[in-house]
Chains A and B, each alone.
Chain A
Amino acid sequence: MAKNGGAAKASAKPQTLLGYYRDMLLIRRFEERAGQLYGMGLIGGFCHLYIGQEAVVVGMQAAMQPGDQVITGYRDHGHMLACGMEANGVMAELTGRAGGYSKGKGGSMHMFSREKNFFGGHGIVGAQVSLGTGIAFANRYRDNGAVCVAYFGDGAANQGQVYESFNMASLWKLPIVYVVENNQYAMGTSVQRSSSETHLHRRGASFNIPGEEVDGMDVLAVREAGARALKHARTGQGPMLLEMKTYRYRGHSMSDPAKYRTREEVDAVRQHSDPIERLKLRLMEDQVADEAALKEIDREVRAIVSASAEFAQSSPEPDASELMTDIYR
Chain B
Amino acid sequence: MPKKSYRQAINEAIRQEMRRDPNVIVLGEDVAGGQGSSGGPGKVGSVFGVLAGLYDEFGADRVLDTPITESAIIGTAGGAAMTGLRPIAEIMFADFVGVCFDQIYNQAAKFRYMFGGRAKTPLVIRTTIGAGFRAGAQHSQTLHPLFTMVPGLKVVMPANAYDAKGLMIEAIRDDDPVVFLESKLLYDSDGEVPDEPYRVPFGEANVLREGKDVTVIGTGFMVARAAQVAAELAKSGIQCEVIDPRTTSPFDEDTLIESVQKTGRLVVVDESPPRCGLAADISSIVAEKAFKALKAPIRKVTCPHTPVPFAPNLEDEYMPNPRRIEAAIREVLAA
Residues of A at under 8 Å CB distance from B? 69, 71, 100-107, 110-114, 119-120, 122-124, 127, 129-139, 141, 160-161, 164-165, 167-168, 171, 325-329
Instruction: Pick out which of these stretches binds chain A: B107-115, B277-285, B323-331.
Output: B107-115
How many angstroms between the C-alpha atoms of A127 and B74 in the bound complex? 10
Instruction: Pick out which of these stretches binds chain A: B5-13, B77-85, B183-191, B192-200.
Output: B77-85
How many angstroms between the C-alpha atoms of A165 and B67 in the bound complex? 10
- CB nearest neighbor in B for A325: B117
How many angstroms between the C-alpha atoms of A283 and B189 in the bound complex? 75
Q: Which residues of A contact B316 (CB under 8 A)?
A: none
How many angstroms between the C-alpha atoms of A167 and B79 in the bound complex? 16
How many angstroms between the C-alpha atoms of A132 and B85 in the bound complex? 14
Residue from A107, A119, A141 having most chain B Cβ neighbours under 10 A: A141
Q: Which residues of B contact A100 (CB under 8 A)?
A: 116
- Among B67, B106, B174, which residue has its beta carbon within 8 angstroms of that of A167? B67
B72 and A328 contact, CB distance less than 8 A: no
A112 and B72 contact, CB distance less than 8 A: no
A102 and B69 contact, CB distance less than 8 A: no
Q: Which residues of B contact A325 (CB under 8 A)?
A: 117
- Residue B61 interfacial (CB < 8 Å): yes
- CB nearest neighbor in A for B151: A327
How many angstroms between the C-alpha atoms of A160 and B67 in the bound complex? 14
B152 and A328 contact, CB distance less than 8 A: yes
How far does the Cβ of B248 sit from chain A's closest Cβ, in whole Å? 14
Known A-B contacts A106-B115, A326-B112; A127 and B75 likewise in contact (beta carbons under 8 Å): yes
Residue from B110, B118, B175 having most chain A Cβ neighbours under 10 A: B118
- Residue B76 interfacial (CB < 8 Å): yes
- CB nearest neighbor in B for A167: B67
How many angstroms between the C-alpha atoms of A104 and B117 in the bound complex? 11
- Among B66, B75, B113, B175, which residue has its beta carbon within 8 angstroms of that of A105? B113
- CB nearest neighbor in A for B25: A141
B116 and A326 contact, CB distance less than 8 A: yes
Q: Which residues of B contact A164 (CB under 8 A)?
A: 67, 69, 71-72, 75
Sorted from nearest, which 10 A-B pairs have the closest CB atoms?
A130-B75, A134-B79, A102-B116, A164-B72, A131-B79, A112-B115, A164-B69, A103-B116, A161-B71, A134-B76
How many angstroms between the C-alpha atoms of A167 and B69 in the bound complex? 9
How many angstroms between the C-alpha atoms of A133 and B175 in the bound complex? 21
Known A-B contacts A137-B79, A165-B72, A168-B66; A114 and B118 likewise in contact (beta carbons under 8 Å): yes
Q: Which residues of B contact A326 (CB under 8 A)?
A: 112-113, 116-117
How many angstroms between the C-alpha atoms of A318 and B66 in the bound complex? 42
B111 and A165 contact, CB distance less than 8 A: no
- Residue B317 interfacial (CB < 8 Å): no
- Among A105, A119, A124, A134, which residue has its beta carbon within 8 angstroms of that of B106? A124
Residue from B69, B75, B81, B120 having most chain A Cβ neighbours under 10 A: B75
- Residue B254 interfacial (CB < 8 Å): no
Q: Which residues of A contact B107 (CB under 8 A)?
A: 122, 124, 127, 131
A134 and B81 contact, CB distance less than 8 A: yes
How many angstroms between the C-alpha atoms of A185 and B80 in the bound complex? 31
Q: Which residues of A contact B115 (CB under 8 A)?
A: 101-102, 106, 110-112, 120
- CB nearest neighbor in B for A328: B176
B118 and A112 contact, CB distance less than 8 A: yes
- Residue B126 interfacial (CB < 8 Å): no
Q: Which residues of B contact A132 (CB under 8 A)?
A: 79
Q: Which residues of A contact B175 (CB under 8 A)?
A: 329
Known pairs A102-B115, A161-B72 / 4 extra A-B pairs, C-beta < 8 Å: A103-B116, A119-B119, A127-B106, A133-B76
- CB nearest neighbor in B for A129: B75
Query: Could you jot down 24 A-B contacts, CB within 8 Å?
Result: A103-B116, A104-B116, A105-B113, A110-B110, A111-B115, A120-B119, A131-B75, A131-B103, A134-B77, A134-B80, A135-B82, A137-B79, A137-B80, A138-B79, A138-B83, A160-B71, A164-B69, A164-B75, A168-B67, A168-B72, A171-B67, A326-B112, A327-B152, A328-B112
How many angstroms between the C-alpha atoms of A135 and B25 in the bound complex? 14
- Among A102, A107, A112, A133, which residue has its beta carbon within 8 angstroms of that of B79? A133
